Structure formats: structure tokens, C-alpha cells
């Protein structure tokens, strides 16, 4: 699988993503500079990594969304290319309109950095097909603007189309108010577009995909992407 | 010309900062405070543009960048600086 990792000024999870895709999973991986508007058609996967692109000024992802590379990513996605946005990458995908909804400040008003649990809500996507349906993954979050918002009607449509991929839950897989760390509507932690080739999630699978770290739950997502190439 | 732009959350979107300030004002004895919304205020200085043009272009700036219309609404005032 040929993977590209977009680097914005302020990306700080780009090397983690590179490490997992290239060193741990042995995939051909390239850096993509945010200022380059390039043809991505030879790629299988483009990752928008976490971080604080442009200092999160105005709104997280609001400025990076106008970087030249985003034009390339939109074209790539329109042709069915797979795009994975993690944390700040998710925020950029929402700002660019590739995914529906928005992310606002956590309801706790604090930056939250901790391990949480998410439940796999559907395995009928390229990002979750190697997961067990309704299985629970332990994956860390680290964000301040991670509270997902979308109007109730659009949420219902997304649920019906199977676009909700992950929900925050407790260790046993129960979705409760207490297990929702940031106040996201319907405890949504990750979702995809209608065509199911663009996915965004707040938790960081790249931070729990190297066996050296003792937790490889995040590998489920990368393995799902690998299994089709 | 100066565009004075206010961006605030739409009704129904969680505003944790506003809620906290609301509670703080109530705790200080301002029982009449019913609701607080915190937003952004931006001043954008414009050069050599008519008021009609400014109206159109500032609206476009808000829709494209300054506000995320999924969660925020905006309004602005144009003030002459001459």
C-alpha cells in the first residue's frame, strides 16, 4: 500500500503515523508537504495527522483547510481514494467539507489527554472491516476541540447510512454519559462520508499500534486499510 | 472602512464557556442573568472599496473562513474610517 502523510506547520503526530505505517507495518510511505498541490492518484491512502496546524487559530483546521494540498486531497477523495483524518486531521476534514458536522470545545473546557474506550459501530467500511463488530478498542485521546456536533436530522441520516464508525463507551462497551469524555453528540468518536472512503476520528490509533507500547488496538484500523490493497 | 464582525454559536450548539460565565455571574449575585453566549469579535480593515462591494465581500469572508456556518452565525457592521 502506498501511503502519504500530509505535513502542516504545527502537525505533531505525523512522525507517529509514519512510524506505524512504514516501520511497524512495512508500507511504502511518503511525506506530503501542505504547500504542494500534487497528483495523488498513485496513492492508496492519505493520512491527515494530528497536531495544531496553524496554531488552531480562528478554529482548529480552519486555516489549513485552504492549504494547496487540500485541493489535491479533495480530488483524490472524489475519485474514491482513502483518506484518514486523525484528531486535527479530522478537524481539517470537517472544515473542508469532506465530512459533515463540526468539532467544538470539549464540554469540560479542558484539554483531555487519556486512554478511553470506543465501540466499533460498523465493520462495513474500509477502515473497520478487520475489527470485530461491536468490539471495544482502547485508544488514547488528546484534544481540546473534540466535541462533535451535527444537527439531529443529519445525525439520524448518518446513522441510517452506517456512517458512524466509533462511539465513546466504557470498558465493557456500554455507551453512557460518563464514558463520553468531551460532550460529543450521541458519543460519536469517529465517522465517515457517504461513500465510505473518507474517515475522521478524534482518538489516536497511531499511538497504540506499535507492540513495544503494550497496546495494539489501533492496528485494527490500519490492518483494515491494508487488507484491501 | 472597517468591518466589525461578530461570530457566535448558533442556538442549540453547546457553549461551555458561556455556561461557565453564566454560573459565575449568578454566583456573584447577578440573579437576573438568564443566559451567556461567548463569541468572537473581529475587526477587518478594508481599503478602497465601496460600501456595496464591502457588504458582499465581507459576507463572503465570513461564509468562507471567519465563521463555520455549521455551528456559528455571524453579523457585521461597516464603519467609515475617514
Coil, strand, or helix at residue A1?
coil
Domain encompassing residue A50: 2-226
Q: Is the pLDDT of residue A195 over 70?
A: yes
Residue in A63, A107, A151 closest to B16 by CB: A107
Q: Is the pLDDT of residue A26 over 90?
A: yes
Determine the distance in angstroms separating the CA of B70 from the nearest CA of chain A, rounded to an integer.
6
What are the cell numbers at A43?
Answer: 496513492
Percent of chain A scoring above 90 in pLDDT: 97
Domain encompassing residue B58: 2-79
Interface ipTM: 0.84
Determine the distance in angstroms separating the CA of A38 from the nearest CA of chain B, rounded to an integer.
23
CB contact under 8 A, B16 and A58: no
pLDDT score recorded for residue B14: 85
CATH code: domain of residue A50:
3.40.50.880
How confident is the model over A6-17, as pLDDT tens digits? 999 999 999 999
Mean pLDDT of the A101-129 span:
96
B-chain residue closest to A109, CA distance: B16
Measured between CB atoms, does B11 come within 8 Å of chain A? no
Q: Give the total number of structural domains in chain B.
A: 1
Interface test with B, best of A70, A91, A149 (most B CBs within 10 A): A149
Query: Which of these is catalytic: A3, A17, A87, A192?
Result: A87
What are the cell numbers at A27?
Answer: 508500507
pLDDT score recorded for residue A30: 98
CA distance B9 to A107: 14
Mean pLDDT of the B52-76 span:
96
Measured between CB atoms, does B24 come within 8 Å of chain A? no
How confident is the model over A55-104, as pLDDT tens digits? 999 999 999 999 999 999 999 999 999 999 999 999 999 999 999 999 99
B73: chain A residues, CB-CB within 8 Å: none
A175 neighbors A119 (Cβ within 8 angstroms)? yes
Binding-site residues on chain A for chain B (CB distance < 8 A): 58-59, 62-63, 66, 94-95, 100-102, 104-109, 147, 149-151, 183
Q: Is the pLDDT of residue A197 over 70?
A: yes
Helix (H) / strand (E) element for B9: namely strand B2-9
pLDDT score recorded for residue A229: 55
CA distance A7 to A207: 17
A87 as an active site residue: the answer is yes
Interface test with A, best of B8, B15, B16 (most A CBs within 10 A): B16
Task: Determine how β-strand A112-120 pairs with β-strand A28-33.
Answer: unpaired
CA distance B54 to B50: 6
DSSP structural state of residue A11: B
Q: Give the total number of structural domains in chain A.
A: 1
CATH code: domain of residue B61:
3.30.1280.10
Amino acid at each position: 500500500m502506498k501511503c502519504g502523510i500530509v505535513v502542516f506547520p504545527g502537525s505533531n503526530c505525523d512522525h507517529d503515523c509514519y512510524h506505524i505505517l512504514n516501520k511497524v507495518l512495512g508500507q511504502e510511505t511518503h511525506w506530503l508537504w501542505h504547500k504542494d498541490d500534487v497528483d495523488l492518484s498513485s496513492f492508496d491512502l492519505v493520512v491527515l495527522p494530528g497536531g495544531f496546524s496553524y496554531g488552531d487559530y480562528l478554529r482548529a483546521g480552519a486555516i489549513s483547510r485552504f492549504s494547496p494540498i487540500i485541493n489535491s486531497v479533495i480530488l483524490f477523495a472524489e475519485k474514491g481514494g482513502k483518506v484518514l483524518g486523525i484528531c486535527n486531521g479530522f478537524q481539517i476534514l470537517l472544515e473542508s467539507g469532506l465530512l459533515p458536522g463540526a468539532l467544538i470545545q470539549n464540554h469540560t473546557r479542558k484539554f483531555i489527554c487519556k486512554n478511553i474506550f470506543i465501540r466499533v459501530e460498523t465493520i462495513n467500511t474500509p477502515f473497520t472491516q478487520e475489527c470485530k463488530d461491536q468490539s471495544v478498542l482502547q485508544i488514547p485521546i488528546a484534544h481540546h476541540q473534540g466535541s462533535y456536533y451535527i444537527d439531529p436530522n443529519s445525525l439520524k441520516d448518518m446513522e441510517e447510512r452506517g456512517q458512524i464508525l466509533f462511539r465513546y463507551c466504557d470498558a465493557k462497551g456500554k455507551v453512557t454519559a460518563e464514558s463520553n469524555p468531551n460532550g460529543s453528540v450521541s458519543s460519536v468518536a469517529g465517522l465517515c462520508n457517504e461513500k465510505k472512503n473518507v474517515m475522521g476520528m478524534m482518538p489516536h490509533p497511531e499511538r497504540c499500534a506499535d507492540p513495544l507500547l503494550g497496546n495494539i488496538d489501533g492496528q485494527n484500523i490500519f490492518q483494515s486499510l491494508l487488507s484491501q490493497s | 472602512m472597517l468591518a466589525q464582525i461578530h461570530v457566535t454559536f448558533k442556538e442549540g450548539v453547546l457553549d461551555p464557556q458561556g455556561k461557565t460565565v453564566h454560573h459565575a455571574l449568578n454566583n456573584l449575585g447577578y440573579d437576573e442573568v438568564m443566559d451567556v453566549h461567548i463569541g468572537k469579535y473581529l475587526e477587518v480593515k478594508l481599503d478602497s472599496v465601496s460600501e456595496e462591494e464591502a457588504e458582499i465581500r465581507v459576507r463572503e469572508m465570513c461564509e468562507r473562513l471567519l465563521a463555520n456556518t455549521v455551528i456559528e452565525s455571524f453579523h457585521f457592521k461597516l464603519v467609515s474610517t475617514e
